[in-house]
Amino acid sequence: MTLELLLDLLLAAALVGLGWRALWSEDLFTSVVLFIAFGLLMAVVWVRLAAPDIALAEAAVGAGITGALLLDAARELRPTAREARRARRGATVVGALTFAAVLALFIVLAATMLELAEQRGGLAAAVVGAMPDAASAHPVTAVLLEFRGYDTWLETGVLLLAALGVLAVRGAQLPTDVDSGSEVVSAAPDRMLGALLRTLVPLLVLCAGYLLWLGTHAPGGAFQSGALLGAAGILLAVSGARSVTALGTIGLRLALLAGLVAFTVVAAGGALLGGSLFELPRAAAKVILVLVETAVAVSVGMTLTVLFVAGRPGGPAYSPVQREEPR
């Protein structure tokens, strides 16, 4: 057994162990913290599997932002005493049946996957063949923005839908309302956190810009960059900084829409200039793509911030009937 295989064995075992404890811990807070650790270990596994782009995205989005969302929700939705009691009930018939079914599923899946390990088809050769036509030097970016541009375009639409959904469920206007009851702006600013953020936020924006530029020829790109911007936005919101609301309603809406609109303009422009949808003129392609990526990064950052901030309670948002004491 080589050292590399041993390392992969340890990583895989640790991954499954962390996942098991994250899923089946009794305490919700423990679950969420272990899930964040699981996400970070997953990022290491991505590096082992030669996927640095995904490692960047997983660490920032999968572990970081999803972890922040889950922590926030776990804090608000702590289980009641009765629910905790019910969760602790012992083995039941349904439990045994579920265990048997899941075990059967595992056997079937494992057998299928081991068969998959033998087949090595895929589109790697096709991508290598098409790379000379691409404006990006990095294969993953080329696939994301050029060869599979449709998917990324619609992905920006999905992000917008999620942001609208969260805002709709919240039942309020955009979180730029400086309400006296709003938890976002009324949190007493922590001086230590404020001092940290004064250094951290500009660094995050700088790194985001660097990753954006890097994406044209190395692992990086719009989504990783947007994730860093989102992290900066969430940090600002959590620290109670007023800059989150300083953007104003129009600015917020523009930022949310920027990615989808830029992509649509490029797609339509390609069609209008006498080609098919998304067909870009060869000479200007790189510049256009960088502009689109910038718009997408800004959108992703703002969307992630809104997804976090708008999911929290605050503000006279709902009908007056709901103004009861929190549990």
Partner 1 sequence: MTSVHLYLAASAALFCLAVGALTRRRHLVSRILALNVCGSAVFLLFVTVAYRDAAAAPDPVPHAMVLTGIVVAVSATALALAVARRLARDLGRTELPDPHPDTESGE
Q: Are 317 and 169 in contact (CB under 8 A)?
A: no
Which of 143, 231, 262, 267 lies at the binding interface for partner 1 (CB under 8 A)? 143
How far apart are alpha carbons 269 and 284 in whole angstroms? Answer: 12
- Name the residue with tokens 């067909």: 279
Q: Are 266 and 280 in contact (CB under 8 A)?
A: yes
Which of 37, 139, 177, 257 lies at the binding interface for partner 1 (CB under 8 A)? 139
Residue type (1 letter), 30: T
The distance of Cα 6 from the centroid of its chain, to the nearest Å, equals: 31
The DSSP output letter for 179 is -
Least distance in angstroms from the C-beta of 274 to partner 1 = 28
21-60: contacts with partner 1 (CB under 8 A): 22-24, 28, 31-32, 35, 38-39, 42, 45-46, 48-51, 53-54, 57-58
Tokens representing 153 are: 């375009």
Least distance in angstroms from the C-beta of 165 to partner 1 = 5
Q: Give 142 or 235: the residue with its C-beta nearer to partner 1.
A: 142
Q: Give 46 or 185: the residue with its C-beta nearer to partner 1.
A: 46
- Give the H or E element holding residue 194: helix 191-214
Helices (H), the chain: 3-24, 28-48, 52-57, 66-76, 81-87, 93-118, 124-130, 139-142, 149-170, 183-186, 191-214, 222-238, 248-272, 285-309
Q: Which stretch binds partner 1 (CB under 8 A): 68-76, 197-205, 233-241, 266-274?
A: 68-76
298-317: contacts with partner 1 (CB under 8 A): 300, 303-304, 307-308, 310-313
146-175: contacts with partner 1 (CB under 8 A): 147-148, 151-152, 155, 158-159, 161-163, 165-166, 169-171
Is 137 near partner 1 (CB under 8 A)? no
Sign for the pseudo-dihedral over CA of 7, 13, 16, 17: negative
> Using alpha carbons only, what angle is made at residue 81 by residues 76 and 84, rounded to the nearest 5 degrees?
85
Which of 82, 91, 192, 283 lies at the binding interface for partner 1 (CB under 8 A)? 82
186-225: contacts with partner 1 (CB under 8 A): 223
Is 16 near partner 1 (CB under 8 A)? yes
Which of 96, 99, 189, 196 lies at the binding interface for partner 1 (CB under 8 A)? 99
How far apart are alpha carbons 84 and 21 in whole angstroms? Answer: 17
Q: Give 71 or 207: the residue with its C-beta nearer to partner 1.
A: 71
Mask for 249-288, x = binds partner 1 (CB under 8 A): ----------------------------------------
How far apart are alpha carbons 164 and 319 in whole angstroms? Answer: 19
Is 96 near partner 1 (CB under 8 A)? no
What is the total residue count of the chain?
327
| Sequence-separated (6 or more) residues with CB below 8 Å from residue 33 | 71
Which of 124, 268, 273, 287 lies at the binding interface for partner 1 (CB under 8 A)? 124
Least distance in angstroms from the C-beta of 128 to partner 1 = 8
